[in-house]
Amino acid sequence: MKSTLAIVTTALLLLTPAAAHAQDTLQATVTAKPSSWTLRNCIDYAKQNNVTVRKNKVSAQSARLDLANAKAGRLPTVSASTSQQGSYAPFRETSAVVNGSQVISTGSKWTYSGNYGVNASMPLFDGGTTSNNIKLAEINTQIAELNTNASELNIEEQITNLYVQILYARETVKQDEEQIKLSQVNLERTQQFYKNGLLAQADVSQIESQLATDKYQKVADETTLNQYKLQLKQLLEISDDENFDIASNGVDGDVLAMLPTTTDVYNAALALRPEIQANKLAMQKSDLDVKIAKAAWYPSINLNAGLNSTNMSGSGNLFTQLKKNWNNFVGLSVSVPIYDGGKTKNNIAKARLEKESYYLDLLDAQKSLWNTIDTYHMNAYNAQQRYVAAKENAKYAQTSYDLTSEQYRLGLKNILELTTGKTNLESANQQMLQAKYTELLNAAMLKYYKGETIDL
């Protein structure tokens, strides 16, 4: 009896900390909003509050509980049972009732009996199934944690993309404001020329149309800016009516900085990216699946022990009966597989096929990683070339427009030449701005995949 209680106590002590830890870690926490939405604050906030990330964290905690359950498979199982039975025989005169090893004669029409027992069982040999299940649960726990890390990296990448898009859209709106100012200056000059009889009303209307077009373009670009802000807000899981905006006003990075090679970034990412590590672990998991399937061919041996007692109405004091009828037992049970219709063989073959599937998943993940890095490198390189050309084009477009504007003021250029020069200047500045932010974003992603912190 004392050994049975010791087994039960030990099992409870081993299992209780895991359950308590799970209860604590499964509590949902929502991080307080930062005072300003810098890029780093956005990333940190999303890692704590994004639903996808939080779901993966719950899955990781569930995997830890599965590991605790797998380890518990080595512990004995203990159960208590009791059965109570009453019977009524209205026409009985005398009867003999067997209670344990006693035969009791009674004339009572009512009889009552009880059985009580405590049974314990512990696996001694199962072909390595329990040990391999523990190893399998450990790998699943690591994979779940890697999936959580992968979701955090994915969120960080998405946030960075949207953050840069917001910066780009914000500077585009500023350029629109500059274009509106130029159109207003041109309109004032044109109206003055019209008052002096130097230009017709059609010329004034043409400049007014240009100003209206500039204002419309500003509204369109502000709409785009607000859409990017909304997407970032949704990614951060912010659902209130707060006027959301990021803290940074621009990026002053070196657009023409030397880029790391695709191969260097890829080799670094292979050792760092959690999705690659998870696929490698999945192949190890398939090896364990094969071993677990093979274990079905081996016998299983269990150690069984227990105690029981009985009591019977009309046989004296309850506790005296329980004491007299008390008995203990211990034994071994062996189960030997003989024929299962080929199920084990099929399970082994299926596990080996899964390993091949995991290997193909790893190849696919590596190919996807290379393509992603190669695309970032190509975009960054092309953006650098476009930036050099666009910067030079913007320089000449600015000079040309300044000269054309001055000549227009002196009456040496017409409306068409003025508006054409302004349109060329606007296009050149927009191309330079787009190339700048495209390069900065893709260059930052290359550093990120190499293991460096995103810094804009």
Is the residue at 398 inside a domain?
yes
Q: What is the dihedral of CA 184, 190, 196, 202, to 10 degrees?
A: -130
Residue 25 confidence (pLDDT) = 44
Q: Over range 313-337, report the average pLDDT.
A: 86
Dihedral class, residue 420 (left if φ above 0, else alpha if ψ from -120 to 50, else beta): alpha
| pLDDT of 105 higher than 90 | no
Q: Over range 353-377, report the average pLDDT.
A: 96
Q: Over range 14-21, report the average pLDDT.
A: 45
CB neighbours (10 Å) of residue 128?
A: 15
Is the residue at 423 inside a domain?
yes
What confidence tens digit (pLDDT) does each residue in 198-217 have?
Answer: 889 999 999 999 999 999 99
Is the residue at 101 inside a domain?
no
- Give Rg (Cα) of the chain: 39
Beta strands (DSSP E) in 260-403 are: 300-312, 327-335
**Assigned token pair, 252:** 């002053």
The CA distances from residue 203 to 229, 415, 418, in Å, are 39, 7, 11
Q: Over range 374-396, report the average pLDDT.
A: 96
Q: Are 130 and 332 in contact (CB under 8 A)?
A: no
- Which pLDDT band holds residue 98 (cuts at 50, 70, 90)? low
| pLDDT of 13 higher than 60 | no
Residue 261 confidence (pLDDT) = 96
Domains held by the chain: number: 1
Is the residue at 52 inside a domain?
yes
Distance from C-alpha of 234 to C-alpha of 219, rounded to nearest angstrom: 22
CATH of the domain at 397: 1.20.1600.10
Angle between helices 415-449 and 343-409 (to 10 degrees): 150
Q: Over range 163-171, report the average pLDDT.
A: 95
- Which pLDDT band holds residue 4 (cuts at 50, 70, 90)? very low
- Domain holding 213, by residue range, is 31-75+126-298+337-449
Distance from C-alpha of 65 to C-alpha of 67, rounded to nearest angstrom: 5
- Which pLDDT band holds residue 102 (cuts at 50, 70, 90)? low
Q: Over range 44-69, report the average pLDDT.
A: 94
- Which pLDDT band holds residue 2 (cuts at 50, 70, 90)? very low
Residue 104 confidence (pLDDT) = 57
Residue 27 confidence (pLDDT) = 44
- Which pLDDT band holds residue 90 (cuts at 50, 70, 90)? confident
For the chain, the straight-line distance linking the first and the last C-alpha, in angstroms and rounded, comes to 69
* Of residues 168, 148, 160, the one with CA closest to residue 232: 160
Residue 391 confidence (pLDDT) = 95
| pLDDT of 7 higher than 80 | no
Strand partners, 99: 102
Q: What are phi and psi of 308, to 5 degrees?
A: -155, 165
| pLDDT of 277 higher than 80 | yes
Determine what percent of the chain is predicted with pLDDT higher than 70: 88
Q: Over range 181-188, report the average pLDDT.
A: 94
Q: Over range 91-107, report the average pLDDT.
A: 58
CB neighbours (10 Å) of residue 350?
A: 12
Is the residue at 321 inside a domain?
no
Determine what percent of the chain is predicted with pLDDT higher than 90: 73
DSSP letters of 394-417?
A: HHHHHHHHHHHHHHHHTTSS-HHH
| pLDDT of 352 higher than 80 | yes
What confidence tens digit (pLDDT) does each residue in 127-145 have?
Answer: 999 999 999 999 999 999 9
Is the residue at 439 inside a domain?
yes
Greater model confidence, 300 or 32: 300
Residue 297 confidence (pLDDT) = 92
Is the residue at 20 inside a domain?
no
Distance from C-alpha of 185 to C-alpha of 75, rounded to nearest angstrom: 86
Residue 316 confidence (pLDDT) = 77
Distance from C-alpha of 437 to C-alpha of 40, rounded to nearest angstrom: 18
Query: Which residue is listed with tokens 């979701």?
Result: 151
